[in-house]
Amino acid sequence: MSSVLWNKKRGSPLLKKLGWHAEAAVLRLFWWTMRRLPPERASAAGDWLLRRLGSRSDKFRKVRANLAMAFPEKDAGEIEQLAHGVMGNLGAVLAEFAYLQRLIDRQDPDPRLEIVNLNEDPAFVEGSKPCIFFSGHLANWELVAFAAEAIGHPSDGLYTPLSNPLLDRLLQDKRRQLGSTHVPRDKALRHLLKSLRRGRSVGMLVDVRIDDTNLLPFFGTGAGLTTAPAWLSVKTGHDLVPMFCERTGHARYRMTIYPALPRPPADLPETDAVHWLALEMIRVLEARIRAHPDQWMCTNRRWPKQVMRDRGVY
């Protein structure tokens, strides 16, 4: 919305602020409207709305390009269908922010969030040792923070603040309902190290583009992905634990916690151990995206721009 009201490069500060306020007002109105509907219908309405409006946006073009990079074996029609699914899932997630408390209500006889723990390590089950959770932007990724708390792992999650501070404040107000602490991404590693030393687990979404870093193979093509979770694991000795969300219906989810990744070979230097563990992390991430590509929120470019242009997808 704000990009319609002001030009990012040439717009005045006043128009920029007006755009911020317009975006925030639209989001408040959207949530107010969704609260007039039952959770399932609100989720379905958000899905329907963004499938139609989202396909006209620049974000839709980026979604198609990312999916084409990840799934070169799929034809244009399949990519288009998946892209509409991605936008629909994003619309459902936005609508479900209006019902976060209902989504995470563990006292509900028919809970909307199923938590499946496949990690049988006694220390993990008892919550006696912190760990480093990692996940991706799949289904409703916001619920990862709550699920960690629900299984006995008080945690601090990393997040990237939005460029619109008013929208960022609205989303942070909603996230506080999840019970965990959210740490801004800039200069966060020191904070996360302190959290681990205090016995708190930490969590990160790892399918985001990091510029000015060494490329790692992501769906067979080099991408700038974070190695921070692997670095923390090697540095502290704490386990790296995958946790991923999948949508099972409108306003319904399954969160699966998987066994910890294997430890790097003991004879590897620290830098090589981080790289080894990062590759393991990406392997698991790819598998979960392959399972539900239409639930992958990939609205920002994931690979270097020139690489995507050379492949003819961007």
* Among the ranges given (2-6, 93-97, 166-170, 234-238), the one the predictor scored with the smallest mean pLDDT: 2-6
Q: Where are the domains of the chain?
A: 107-310
Whole-number Cα distances in Å, 9 to 3, 6, 17, 27, 213:
10, 9, 14, 24, 26
The separation between the first and the last C-alpha atoms of the chain, rounded to the nearest angstrom, is 23
Confidence class for position 7, pLDDT limits 50, 70, 90: very low
How confident is the model over 192-244, as pLDDT tens digits?
Answer: 999 999 999 999 999 999 988 889 999 999 999 999 999 999 999 999 999 99
Token pair 């209006």 in the structure block, residue = 98
Q: How far apart are CA 250 and CA 47, in angstroms?
A: 9
Q: How far apart are CA 157 and CA 142, in angstroms?
A: 10
How confident is the model over 140-194, as pLDDT tens digits?
Answer: 999 998 999 999 999 998 888 888 999 999 998 988 888 777 888 777 888 899 9
